[in-house]
Structure 1
Amino acid sequence: MFELQDAFARKFQYLRLSVTDVCNFKCTYCLPDGYRPDGRKSFLTLDEIRRLTRAFAAMGTSKVRITGGEPSLRKDFTDIIETVAATPGIRKVAMTTNGYRMAKQVADWRRAGLTAINVSVDSLDPRMFHQITGQNRFHEVMAGIDAAFDAGFEQVKVNAVLMRGLNDGDLDRFLAWIRDNPIQLRFIELMQTGDMDELFNRHHVRGALIKEQLLKSGWQQKLRAHNDGPAEVFWHPDYAGEVGLIMPYAKDFCASCNRLRVSSLGKLHLCLFGDHGVDLRDLLAEEGQQAALQQRLREALADKKATHFLHQGHTGMTPHLPPSAAEHSPLDCFYRTALA
């Protein structure tokens, strides 16, 4: 029985589950000063993840994306994949990663039940990759993508946050890369969040402009499946790969919302740009709380708004950069956790 539905008849088959907020990269648009712990945190345990996933699956969720921070930093990450994949009703288990551990571990993740993988690659120029991410690991990440195909993944999704003056000139290079490779490039529009007005004004690239270029070049838009994320996906008969555009400022971006988010500390977030989370952790500590947990999910969904308020300048709890000036968001890395 499908129960995860809001007042606007949107159904939520897709859970984005963060398992840590720790990250070893220093991306310009997320953590330019690097990860700074704000105290000793206790992230969701394996048992709590099992109970949470079981409750969501019983209410109609069929897809779980495991995110962070960088999820593979958890020592029990392979066990997490196996636990989620073993949940009755869960048919797709995805992850989003910065890719630095893929070359060594992606085959193990595949065997544990991982069915889809997204990798952040913000530039195909190793020097620009280093400048954006703060890590000189371009070749390791690219080797990880090759290892994913070797492990049996038929497609790998690659995320890039496009920024004017930095990597916007990589578009042709990215397209040449996917001509013969089954990679779905996903260009994420830079968002104006918190105190990053200067960064946004300097580097924002409108996703609509990229869409216009693609359509003029013969790319065609695909229909969205019921449990797909927010990307508008385009295909071309001359290319093995695809292009996805994630444009949070686009008209009706929220109309097809089908995803809920749970942070690494066990809070439900109805929207990336919401003002608060709903604590679930007290109902995850022991068995026998599934009915109460499901009831709390129903009550929370009754308050989900029709849309975000980005156009009015309201960004809710998303990070306020730089992190040295504010506490890191409980939504963890918002580009990887919430969009990709």
Structure 2
Amino acid sequence: MFELQDAFARKFQYLRLSVTDVCNFKCQYCLPDGYMPDGRKSFLTLDEIRRLVHGFAAMGTSKVRITGGEPSLRKDFTQIIETVAATPGIEKVAMTTNGYRMKKQVADWRQAGLTAINVSVDSLDPRMFHQITGQNRFHEVMDGIDAAFVAGFEQVKVNAVLMRGLNDGDLDRFLAWIKDNPIQLRFIELMQTGEMDELFQRHHVRGAVIKAILLQQGWQQKLKAHNDGPAEVFWHADYKGEIGLIMPYSKDFCASCNRLRVSSLGKLHLCLFGDYGVDLRDLLADDHHQADLQRRLREALVDKKATHFLHEGITGMTPHLASIGG
């Protein structure tokens, strides 16, 4: 039965579940000073994750994306994939990763039930990759993408955050890369968060610039599936790969919102740029609170706003993207 619907008739089939906010990279647009521990945090346990995903699935969720921080830093990450994949009603299990553990572990993740993978590669220039991410791991990440294909993934999605003066001139290099590789390259507009005002003003470039170039070169837009994410996806007859554009500042971006977020501490976030989280963890202690969990989810959706208000300069309380999974 489908029950996750808000006051604007948007249906939410897609859960983005953060399992940690720890990350070992120092990306300029997220954690430029590296991860700063904030006391002794207790992230959701495997049993709590099982109960949470079961509650969402019972209300119509069919896709779960496991995020972080860097989710593979959890020692039980493969077991998390198995737990989510085994939940009745869950058809797709995806993850977003910085890719540094893919080469050694992606085959295990695939066997555990992972069906889709997104890897962050902000530049194909190893030196620029190092500058943006704070890590000299470009070749490890690229080897991990190769390993994903060997493990049986038919397509890998690669995320690149557009940044003026850093990687905005890399389009031709990225296009050459995906010409013969089944990679969906996703350009993501830099988003303004509470701690990144100056960086945003200096480096923000609109995805519409890339879209205009693609259309001029004969790329065509694909139709979305019901549980796809926010990307506008384009294909070209001469390319094995695809281009995705995530443009949160575009008109009506939020009209097609189909995803909810739960943080690694068990808080429901109705929007990446919302002002508060709804605590769910007290209902995850045992298996007897499923009805209460579903009731709280229904009640929370009453407060979901029509838009994120980024275009008005309102960024909410999200300090950085790693805090609730980007």
| TM class by smaller structure | over 0.9
Partner of 2:289 in structure 1?
A: 289
Q: Deviations over 1:44-89 (max 9, x none)?
A: 0000000000000000000000000000000000000000000000
Partner of 2:221 in structure 1?
A: 221
Q: Which amino acid aligns with 1:64?
A: V
For 1:198 and 1:317, how far apart are their aligned partners in 2? Answer: 17
Partner of 1:136 in structure 2?
A: 136
Preserved CA contact (<8 Å) 1:267 1:281: yes
Q: How does 1:167-316 map to 2 (within 5 A)?
A: 167-316=167-316
Q: Does residue 1:332 correspond to 2:322, yes or no?
A: yes
Partner of 1:21 in structure 2?
A: 21
Q: Which amino acid aligns with 2:322?
A: D
Cα deviation for residue 286 of structure 1 reads 1.1
Preserved CA contact (<8 Å) 1:20 1:68: yes
For 1:73 and 1:36, how far apart are their aligned partners in 2? Answer: 15
Cα deviation for residue 333 of structure 1 reads 4.9
Partner of 1:50 in structure 2?
A: 50
For 2:32 and 2:83, how far apart are their aligned partners in 1? Answer: 33
Q: Which amino acid aligns with 1:254?
A: C
Structure 2 unaligned residues grouped into runs of 5+? none
What's the secondary structure of 1:289's corresponding residue?
helix
Q: Which amino acid aligns with 2:147?
A: A
For 1:197 and 1:8, how far apart are their aligned partners in 2? Answer: 30
Identity of matched residues, %: 88
For 1:195 and 1:291, how far apart are their aligned partners in 2? Answer: 38
Partner of 2:59 in structure 1?
A: 59
Q: Which amino acid aligns with 1:25?
A: F
Preserved CA contact (<8 Å) 1:30 1:333: no
Preserved CA contact (<8 Å) 1:230 1:257: yes
Partner of 1:145 in structure 2?
A: 145
What's the secondary structure of 1:157's corresponding residue?
strand
For 2:311 and 2:183, how far apart are their aligned partners in 1? Answer: 32
Partner of 1:35 in structure 2?
A: 35
What is the TM-score when the length of structure 2 is the normalising length? Answer: 0.99
What's the secondary structure of 1:169's corresponding residue?
coil
Q: Does residue 1:107 correspond to 2:107, yes or no?
A: yes
Q: Does residue 1:11 correspond to 2:1, yes or no?
A: no
For 2:322 and 2:282, how far apart are their aligned partners in 1? Answer: 20
Q: Which amino acid aligns with 1:262?
A: V
For 1:232 and 1:145, how far apart are their aligned partners in 2? Answer: 22
What's the secondary structure of 1:307's corresponding residue?
coil
What's the secondary structure of 2:288's corresponding residue?
coil
For 2:80 and 2:212, how far apart are their aligned partners in 1? Answer: 40
Q: Does residue 1:155 correspond to 2:145, yes or no?
A: no
For 1:287 and 1:222, how far apart are their aligned partners in 2? Answer: 41
Cα deviation for residue 165 of structure 1 reads 0.7
Cα deviation for residue 311 of structure 1 reads 1.4
Partner of 1:323 in structure 2?
A: none
Preserved CA contact (<8 Å) 1:263 1:269: yes
Preserved CA contact (<8 Å) 1:263 1:332: no
For 2:280 and 2:309, how far apart are their aligned partners in 1? Answer: 25
Preserved CA contact (<8 Å) 2:186 2:231: yes
CA RMSD of aligned residues (A): 0.9
For 2:201 and 2:172, how far apart are their aligned partners in 1? Answer: 24
Q: Deviations over 1:210-251 (max 9, x none)?
A: 100100010000111100000000000000000000000000
Q: Which amino acid aligns with 2:237?
A: P
For 2:274 and 2:35, how far apart are their aligned partners in 1? Answer: 23
Structure 1 unaligned residues grouped into runs of 5+? 320-328
Preserved CA contact (<8 Å) 2:263 2:323: no
Preserved CA contact (<8 Å) 2:66 2:93: yes
For 1:197 and 1:3, how far apart are their aligned partners in 2? Answer: 37
For 1:235 and 1:156, how far apart are their aligned partners in 2? Answer: 15
For 1:275 and 1:294, how far apart are their aligned partners in 2? Answer: 22
Q: Which amino acid aligns with 1:170?
A: D
For 1:195 and 1:273, how far apart are their aligned partners in 2? Answer: 13
